[in-house]
């Protein structure tokens, strides 16, 4: 391993890590030596990921809770600090997707999608800043999407709006905390082969999307995880306020 990718002695919180891209991110960071806090609203899913990491020799704990609830977020941070000395890395991956057209989006559904994706990113970032500032080092990676730069492939307007908001929040926070040794970046995945995507569209639509991409397939969670691992490493120490695309050429800007 390149020493600049060595994460030994670092602790990472990964939200929405019970499945999909979040789960893949935990594996990539653990492989580089990080201790992992696995967060998910589904306690059994969080424990499943944690057990997989522990079986591979990683130090990991599961803390269930909703990123959209401030008390849950503070408990996540407090319990992480009780178990580990610091919080060095935060990966804001937790998200929900709904394909509802604008005329049919209820207020409750709008709030759910925006709260989990955007408000959750804000709450978790805010909560980890004291620990990162104390050590003078931190990495925050926020999950946006190609939806944040264009429109969502399979989600609704609330998803597109939330993911665009994450890009604005990323830029602003990056500017605020750069002098504290903290970088803040966003990743913008395209259509990735996750449980959430498969639950939203059928196999026929998947094949149609694949055929339309310059690289004619869905992305893999581990490919996104490798990008995140780069961003939290010292190899990316001079990158902040950026949004990095990983979409098989679906969106080129």
Catalytic residue among 159, 169, 209, 230: 159
Report the 10 Å Cβ neighbour count for 242: 15
For the chain, report the end-to-end CA distance as a whole number of angstroms.
32
Residue 251 resides in a domain: no
The domain total for the chain is 1
Give the pLDDT score at 199: 87
Which residue range(s) make up the domain with 72?
Answer: 3-242
Residue 248 resides in a domain: no
Q: What is the pTM of this model?
A: 0.95
The CATH number of the domain holding residue 25 is 3.40.50.720
Task: Supply the mean pLDDT for the chain.
Answer: 95
Residue 70 resides in a domain: yes
Q: Calculate mean pLDDT across residues 135-147.
A: 97
13: confidence class by pLDDT, cuts 50, 70, 90: very high
28: part of which helix (H) or strand (E)?
Answer: helix 20-31
Question: pLDDT tens across 169-208, in order?
Answer: 999 999 999 999 999 999 999 998 888 888 888 899 889 9
Give the pLDDT score at 2: 57
Give the pLDDT score at 219: 87
Q: SS3 of 40, please?
A: strand
Q: Cα torsion at 22, 24, 25, 29 (round to 10°)? A: 150
Residue 200 resides in a domain: yes
Instruction: Let me know if 44 is exposed, middle or buried by CB neighbors in 10 A (0-12, 13-18, 19+).
Output: exposed
Among this protein's residues, is 159 annotated catalytic? Answer: yes
Q: Which residue has the higher pLDDT, 81 or 251?
A: 81
Residue 18 resides in a domain: yes
| Calpha distance 26→22 (Å, rounded) | 6
């Amino acid at each position: 391993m390149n020493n600049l990718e060595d994460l030994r002695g670092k602790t990472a919180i990964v939200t929405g890590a019970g499945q999909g891209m979040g789960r893949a991110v935990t594996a990539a960071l653990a492989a580089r030596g990080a201790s992992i806090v696995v967060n998910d609203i589904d306690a059994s899913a969080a424990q499943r990921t944690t057990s997989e990491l522990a079986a591979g020799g990683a130090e990991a704990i599961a803390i269930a809770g909703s990123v959209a609830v401030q008390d849950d977020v503070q408990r996540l941070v407090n319990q992480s600090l009780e178990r580990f000395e610091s919080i060095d890395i935060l990966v804001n991956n937790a998200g929900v997707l709904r394909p509802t057209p604008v005329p049919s989006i209820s207020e409750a559904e709008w709030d759910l999608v925006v709260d989990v994706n955007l408000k959750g990113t804000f709450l978790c970032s805010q909560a980890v800043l004291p620990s990162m500032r104390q050590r003078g080092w931190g990495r925050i990676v926020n999950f946006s999407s190609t939806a944040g730069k264009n429109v969502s492939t399979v989600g609704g307007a609330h998803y597109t709006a939330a993911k665009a908001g994450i890009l604005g929040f990323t830029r602003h926070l990056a500017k605020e905390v750069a002098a504290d040794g903290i970088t803040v970046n966003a990743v913008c995945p395209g259509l990735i082969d996750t449980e959430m995507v498969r639950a939203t569209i059928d196999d026929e639509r998947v094949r149609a999307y694949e055929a339309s991409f310059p690289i004619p397939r869905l992305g893999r969670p581990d490919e996104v995880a490798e990008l995140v691992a780069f961003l939290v490493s010292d190899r990316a120490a001079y990158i902040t306020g950026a949004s990095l695309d990983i979409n098989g050429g679906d969106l080129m800007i």
